[in-house]
Amino acid sequence: MERRLQATEATIKDILIIDFNVFKDNRGYFFESYNQREFARLGITEKFVQDNHSYSRKNTIRGLHYQIGDSAQGKLIRVVKGRILDVAVDIRFGSPNFGSYFSIFLDENSHKALWIPVGFAHGFAVHSDYAIVNYKCTEFYSKINERSIIYNDAELAIDWGIENPIISEKDLHNPSFKAIEKNFIY
């Protein structure tokens, strides 16, 4: 059986960088963006229940978002058009990487995806004129269980690579990293 996916563990345990096997010819290209058997082979056995699609302008920063309790989400992120800096912050108390973040550029040409399991806050910054991002979630969105961390938290010191970010009104008022509760234990 031909293997179509490869995964590399990121610098933070449990985050995976997914490389798709892209078939190119004179017509363009084709790849399977999701195949349950192949993802299970990589250790991603979670059931996806919701697909999200976002369009964002250059210099937009979305995040840092996560959900708690029964609504905690694992996310599989892929860029359809454009280029983003994708960021995952380890919020698992007791983790050797607690408070650390992993970032990677994802774009339409690299055909990479990022698997972020439960226990991480997620956000991204748009570095192209615009970006279309698709991501699969393992739980449904829940307003009551939604939590956030301010994108420019001094303790996290994330370098988004954006000088004058466009931030939603809601995300401008996110709490600091120090204010998060112990919702995830490593």
Active site amino acids: 65, 135
- Please give the full DSSP string across 152-163, using - where no structure is assigned: T-TTT----S-S
**Closest residue by Cα to residue 180 from 123, 115, 98:** 98
H helix or E strand, kind and range, residue 6: strand 5-9
C-alpha span between 120 and 88 (Å, rounded): 6
Backbone φ, ψ for residue 41 (5° rounding): -60, -30
Query: Bridge-partner residues for 146, per DSSP?
Result: 67
**Span between the terminal Cα atoms of the chain, in Å:** 36
3-state secondary structure of 126: strand
E strands of 49-129, at which residues?
Answer: 50-57, 61-67, 75-81, 83-90, 101-107, 112-116, 120-126
The pair of structure tokens assigned to 172 is 């401008």
